Amino acid sequence: MIPLDEISHLTFDCYGTLIDWERGILNAIQPLLTREGVIATPEAILRSYVQNEARLEQGRWIPYWEILRGIMRGIASDLSFPLPPGEDSALVDSLPAWPPFSDTVTALERLSSRFQLVILSNTDDLLFRETQKQLKVQFAEIITAEQVKSYKPGHAHFNEALRRLGVSANHVLHVAQSLYHDHVPAGQLGFHTAWIKRPSLLSGTGVAPDASAKPNLAFPDLARFTAYTLR
């Protein structure tokens, strides 16, 4: 059990936890495949996304918009079709419109009445600024990969959160969907963790490499997590 009365901050992953990135990714890529006459299942598209994102994030740090362009080129290679000029920006251009899950905005509004909310995201400041308009709440801190020059599952986001917030890890509950990107490093650093097990077209860990972690709490969606924490 987590002593909720001792939790002052909730740190959130964004894409996959608050934002329906599977839907956003597929909405960006499937029309392009249709125009090019490429037949690919949604699962194949998402698996290619996972593999290419993980590969690119393991190298030297580059901005996430460049990662997204690299992912798009990788998907074209994996699915064996020539990427038309300029179309490697499809994911970058679409990201600001990736939609929140249906329970996200209400949950954040309710949770903000009790906790300080913080974003820990593998994205760039400008890209997240557009996403934030859809989330409709004020965050105490927003920590991006651009700021820390590192991608989760590295520890930099989490260490920077503790530095900025001025609290110890036992006063923070990290809320995320990805075991690989979030629960493994958060657990290593002593954060309490809540796994939001969003439905995914990919069985197991969703749009992320396989990983093993033991979250403190698990919920099928953010609505039930909110009901639990505010009970």
Provide the token pair at 16.
């996959």
CATH number at residue 204: 3.40.50.1000
Q: Answer whether 25's CB lies under 8 Å from 45's CB.
A: yes
- The phi and psi torsions of 209 (rounded to 5 degrees) equal -65, 160
Question: Which residue out of 13, 20, 124, 182 is catalytically annotated?
Answer: 13
Domain that holds residue 117: 4-20+99-229
Look-up of token digits 């125009």: 35
Residue 13 among the catalytic residues: yes
Q: Which residues contact 224 (CB under 8 A, 6 or more apart)?
A: none
- Residue 86 sits in the same domain as residue 193: no
Among 96, 129, 160, where does a domain finish? Answer: 96
Residues 104-119 have pLDDT tens digits of 999 999 999 999 999 9
Average pLDDT estimate for 54-69: 95
Q: Answer whether 189's CB lies under 8 Å from 163's CB.
A: no
CATH number at residue 90: 1.10.150.750
Binned at pLDDT 50, 70 and 90, residue 26 comes out as very high
Binned at pLDDT 50, 70 and 90, residue 169 comes out as very high
Average pLDDT estimate for 121-147: 97
Total number of domains constituting the chain = 2
Return the biggest CA–CA distance within the chain. 56
**Could you tell me what percent of the chain has a pLDDT over 90?**
92
Among 80, 96, 112, where does a domain finish? Answer: 96
